Structure 1
Amino acid sequence: MTSKIGIASNHLIHPTERFGTNFVDYIQRDYVTGLRQADVLPFVLPLGDPKDAKAYIESVDGLLLSGGQGVTPILYGEEPLAEVAETDIYRDQFEIALVKAAQEAGKPVLGICRGMQVINVALGGNLYQDIYKQAGATEKHNQYPTSWEIPTHHVTTTSGSWLNQILGERFAVNSFHHQGIHQPGKDLTVVAQSDDHVVEGIESANGKIIGVEFHPEMMRAVHPEFQKIFDYFAELVK
């Protein structure tokens, strides 16, 4: 039987020219394509009430959390700095509940960019609200307007980690963030960092929860090696 992966949706917060209201749940197609290429069946989970998280997780075999807005600082016990951009506490609370439900059910989770940060907060860790102001980051971690699929800075992985096994010790990635992991959550280990020591990858003690700060879904079509992240996750689920 084909494994089913739930992808937590984003939703439009502001009206747009095409969608006059903000009642639109969506997910970027690249995440879906990466999972399909890994021979699993993607299901988009619409943003909902945290109390429904357990039921959603019961209906799938694994969970993928995508990129998007920053995570609301008050959810990890801090007041927001002036540098904090747009946040969406409704999405934050729902995805945190999904992570906790997946962990309780023993189902694998993959977090990408914001998704990795949500995992960290859900498991009791916290974030740098701004890696430049608080963590002394010196590299360019938001490459816009450089094209999304182009790797722009390097990361180094921990020997023996899941990322090290599938992509090697050092490779270049793309980058679109200004928040980042500060203190890792319970049973999470940092497995990759940029040269200026920003966390770029994590793994749980049991290996079922993994995350990356970069965007493999954007790079995989032009740089096929990044499909290995989706393939690895699919094997965890199977």
Structure 2
Amino acid sequence: MNKIGIASNHLIHPNPRFDTNFIDYIQIDYVNGIKHADGLPFVLPLGDPKDAEAYIENVDGLLLSGGQGVTPAVYGEEPLKEVAETDIYRDQFEIALVQAAVKAHKPVLGICRGIQILNVALGGTLYQDIYKQAGAYLKHNQYPTSWEIPTHHITTDRNSWLNQLLGDRFLVNSFHHQGIHQLGKQLKSVATSDDKVVEAVESADGNVIGVEFHPEMMAEAHPEFQKIFDYFVNKARN
């Protein structure tokens, strides 16, 4: 079985259950997506960027999950007032993981925040708020609608990896207000929403892929989205 490292999120605020006994965690849907693709998931606790290469040496692929917004400082900008919670420690560690995985020619899949951080890791930038800066007009954060329900359409580029898996046009779920602005090196957009927000990317060598939506949340109710995890884990076998 191929070992897939899943970069964890971590709790940084006290809460009634854990108080200040902070934890690293990952939502079970990411784990299940890898397991159902016959991969072996390993949750990577948030660590020092200097340890990223050692983590990547011990896995066959890297999955980056959703979570907080990306800190604008890591791509050279000052934060707008629309920026919500960020976590620069997570940003720095995940950027190092992406760069180590690319250097080692190991596949990377980014989901929501994950597509954003891999874009930044490869030299790209983000819209801090797609409504204010990119003219977005669709509802890209569907809360309180249940997370497994697709709510807006995306259109894929012909012959792209996502087009081959799911077709030309389909509904996805959505939970974000940041988005890709300038694409990172070797990345191209392969899907957009009707208001031109980048919804999926692919590297020139096909080894780095990402989606702005959450297939892990939809895969149980809409099994076709499991194909994304199947495709990614299969790349880790090659």
TM-score in same-fold range (> 0.5): yes
CA distance in 1, matches of 2:194, 2:18: 41
- 2:150 corresponds to: 151
CA distance in 2, matches of 1:51, 1:23: 22
- 2:47 corresponds to: 48
- 1:101 corresponds to: 100
CA distance in 1, matches of 2:38, 2:184: 30
Cα deviation for residue 22 of structure 1 reads 5.0
CA distance in 2, matches of 1:17, 1:31: 25
Distance 1:22 1:71, change over 3 A: farther
- 1:110 corresponds to: 109
CA distance in 2, matches of 1:53, 1:129: 26
CA distance in 1, matches of 2:233, 2:5: 12
Cα deviation for residue 60 of structure 1 reads 0.2
TM-score (norm 1): 0.99
Aligned length: 237
Letter in 1 for 2:163: N
Cα deviation for residue 94 of structure 1 reads 0.1
CA distance in 1, matches of 2:18, 2:209: 34
Residue segments in structure 2 that go unaligned for 5+ positions in a row: none
Cα deviation for residue 13 of structure 1 reads 1.2
CA distance in 2, matches of 1:22, 1:228: 37
CA distance in 1, matches of 2:21, 2:140: 29
CA contact 2:13–2:22 (8 Å) conserved in 1: no
CA contact 1:149–1:222 (8 Å) conserved in 2: yes
- 2:159 corresponds to: 160
CA contact 1:120–1:185 (8 Å) conserved in 2: yes
CA contact 1:13–1:22 (8 Å) conserved in 2: no
CA distance in 2, matches of 1:157, 1:137: 18
1:183-212 Cα shifts (integer Å, max 9, x gaps) = 100000000000000000000000000000
Alignment of structure 1 residues 185-200 onto 2, 5 Å: 185-200=184-199
Tell me, yes or no, if structure 1 residue 174 matches structure 2 residue 173.
Answer: yes
- 1:129 corresponds to: 128
- 1:142 corresponds to: 141
CA distance in 2, matches of 1:19, 1:223: 34
Letter in 2 for 1:233: F
Letter in 2 for 1:158: D
CA distance in 1, matches of 2:236, 2:21: 33
1:121-147 Cα shifts (integer Å, max 9, x gaps) = 000000000000000000000000000
CA distance in 2, matches of 1:126, 1:22: 34
Letter in 2 for 1:41: L
